[in-house]
Structure 1
Amino acid sequence: MKVAIFSSTRYERDYLDEANKVEQHQLHNFDVSLNMDSVGLAAGFGAVCIFVNDEADAQVLETLHQGGTQLLALRCTGFNNVDLEAAARLGIKVVRVVTYPPYSVAEHAVALLLAVNRKVHRAYNRTRDSNFSLDGLVGFDLHGKTVAVVGTGKIGCVFARIMLGFGCEVIGFDPYPSAEFQALGLSYAKTGEIGEKADIISLHCPLTPETHHIINSKTLERAKGGAILINTSRGGLIDTEAAIEALKSGLLGGLGIDVYEQEADLFFRDLSSEIITDDVFQRLVSFPNVIVTGHQAYLTREALTTICETTLQSITAFEKNQPLENEVKVG
């Protein structure tokens, strides 16, 4: 099948090409994001493959439909960037990567936590300048601290197990309790418990209308003073302006994020020679207790292999009129 791959990167193409040795599709890579400015590149492609920051709103989908696209394949788990109602109306099938090894994201969340807490980024910069002073590098033991896991799916459960290994007390928050989480001997937070007890809050939930800005000025006001917040899920879970105010006041003791609300204009490209005009982002990275990585939590060999294999297998299933196990439907 002829497949247009948007937001294609050099490192990802190696894994796609390897997976395609089995599936044998015609892959055409475009390093630009899918949006109304670039959608014309997809004309004549039966399948279009996109990533987290590509835009698949009603207008883009209508143009894809006019160009002959029948399948939209997301090489990611989240699908908040797709207008599913418009896709259904146009007869465009949507598939995604329902799951991939959860260890990559969970382990990156731990890496961010350790780096923020133990000031690894600051120590690294100092020692490169032959500055071996330890002033301002004091962290705290994770052992005995309370960790709130917001979203107890596969990734949240792996993160919880790692935190248990550090000797932490772990509590969960999720409207849909997980048997796997409870099997670890863990319980869900009671009303107000996260704010009162949590020294660390880690977000592992999808971005939905209900979870948009789940971390906001009100929830941050109730947080335990000096708590560290980690987000490796979706940028829209955090009201960034509110987080900045909490960092300024000391309500937040640190912030480690792999995702950002307006990341589509920044991430997955080299802007080192350009002026970044996003003032909110610039304020955010100016804090010494903030670490930002560019949506790389999933970036392991194991995860990339699964993502690429699953995506191309779904395209093959569509081409052969087989059931789409990873289809995303309205509702």
Structure 2
Amino acid sequence: MTTVVFTSLWREDEEYYREHLKGMKVLTFSQSIEELPEEVLCEAEVACVFVMDRVSSQVLEKMPRLKLLHTRSVGYDHIDIEECRNRGIVVTHLPEYSPSAVAQHAFALLLHLVRKLDTIKERVRRMDFSQSYQLMSRNLEDMTLGIIGTGRIGSLMARYALSFGMKVLAYDVVTRKDLLDLGVRYTSLEDLLRESDAVSLHVPYTPQTHHLLNASNMSLLKDGCIIINTSRGAVIDTKALYHFFREGKIGAVGLDVFEEEKTLILGRYRDGEGSSLLLKLLEMTHSDRVIITPHVAFLTDRAVSKIREETLRILRAYAEGDMTFISSYSVFRA
């Protein structure tokens, strides 16, 4: 019987997978894969992980029986892909389970910050219902949105912005004709940063996108620019983001992802402790011009249902030996 190990699993999902995978031995854990004992890891023929798991070469060394590694996410930068390739382990992911969910979350962050809703909410909470120029915001049709990365999510973000009358600039290694036809203008990263009133990032994390926004190019931003990131935390240099926000160069920040997020999301943070990056980020949360959400942009009922359904299809295909089906979800051919 095939042993499947699920990690970083929510309690609500445990019974679902057990019920629908009765022909397999299903082991479910809320912990990340690095925290599991070696006797569990060495038994797994299939592992189903999530974005908080770090599947390193050290973890893979403890999994001699592993044949299929499935991540219930779009991104797979948390997996040592080269080590999997060397070991002949097939790696699968879910390339498009929630593009609209993430794009909608990113646009919600933008609207929230543009309309200063945190400031308004706090005043009302204090029973201050007065009107003032401090609450003045901007019309979206007077703003330019710069989108970095126009894949599935970034292209939806562009369409949302256009429907609100915004001018849209884009930067990507691939130019999409459908967006050009809608009026999106592709430009260099530097010009996008210079001309945009808000910048939204929608790129995968790779060595090439590490600190894509950094101290050097963030200095090009318009004064008061809004930064939105729902892609991966490390595509922005947190230290530089903190600096330019404190200096007033960056007017507002909306993050669903951030460097060292795992410490907070897994509840490992202790008050006053942590790296300087994490402490800078936490300091920023005290501002009503900063919104940070805990990597939940994907988290809608439709997206979670699709994660479950697609994961089941992949595992059943594996049990049936249907590697042709699995290849359509594979990160590479083992």
The TM-score normalised by the length of structure 2 is 0.90
The CA distance in 2 between the partners of 1:62 and 1:23, in whole Å, is 28
- Aligned residue for 1:178? 176
Deviation per residue, 1:217-274 (Å, 9 max, x gap): 1111011111100000100111011001110111101000000110111115497xx5
1:122 pairs, out of 119, 122, 127, with 119
Contact persistence 1:106–1:155 (CA under 8 A): yes
Q: Which has the higher contact order (CA 8 A, sep 6+)?
A: 1
- Aligned residue for 2:33? 34
Shift, 1:13, TM fit:
4.3
Task: Output aligned runs, 1:155-166, within 5 Å.
Answer: 155-166=153-164
Contact persistence 2:118–2:289 (CA under 8 A): no
Letter in 1 for 2:226: I
Shift, 1:185, TM fit:
3.1
Letter in 2 for 1:120: L
Cα gap change, 1:276 to 1:176, in 2 (>3 Å)? farther
Deviation per residue, 1:54-89 (Å, 9 max, x gap): 011111111122xx2221110001111111111112
- Comparing 117-126 with 227-236, which one deviates more in the overlay? 117-126
1:146 pairs, out of 141, 144, 147, with 144
For the pair 1:108 / 2:105, whether they are aligned, the reply is: yes
Deviation per residue, 1:105-131 (Å, 9 max, x gap): 000001111112222223223323323
Deviation per residue, 1:165-190 (Å, 9 max, x gap): 11000011001222332342322014
The number of aligned residues is: 325
The secondary structure found in structure 2 opposite 1:64 is: coil
Cα gap change, 1:296 to 1:191, in 2 (>3 Å)? closer
- Aligned residue for 1:4? 5
Letter in 1 for 2:284: L
The CA distance in 1 between the partners of 2:268 and 2:93, in whole Å, is 27
For the pair 1:88 / 2:78, whether they are aligned, the reply is: no
- Aligned residue for 1:277? 273
* Backbone CA RMSD of aligned residues: 2.3
For the pair 1:258 / 2:256, whether they are aligned, the reply is: yes
In structure 1, stretches of 5+ residues that fail to align are: none
Cα gap change, 1:247 to 1:91, in 2 (>3 Å)? same
Deviation per residue, 1:15-43 (Å, 9 max, x gap): x549x638865432211112166555333
The CA distance in 1 between the partners of 2:309 and 2:23, in whole Å, is 12
The CA distance in 2 between the partners of 1:245 and 1:200, in whole Å, is 18
The CA distance in 2 between the partners of 1:181 and 1:276, in whole Å, is 46
The CA distance in 2 between the partners of 1:123 and 1:250, in whole Å, is 20
For the pair 1:79 / 2:76, whether they are aligned, the reply is: yes
The TM-score normalised by the length of structure 1 is 0.91
Cα gap change, 1:107 to 1:7, in 2 (>3 Å)? same
Letter in 2 for 1:275: D
Cα gap change, 1:60 to 1:225, in 2 (>3 Å)? same
Contact persistence 1:276–1:282 (CA under 8 A): no
The CA distance in 2 between the partners of 1:116 and 1:209, in whole Å, is 30
The CA distance in 2 between the partners of 1:329 and 1:204, in whole Å, is 22
The secondary structure found in structure 1 opposite 2:63 is: helix
Cα gap change, 1:266 to 1:146, in 2 (>3 Å)? same
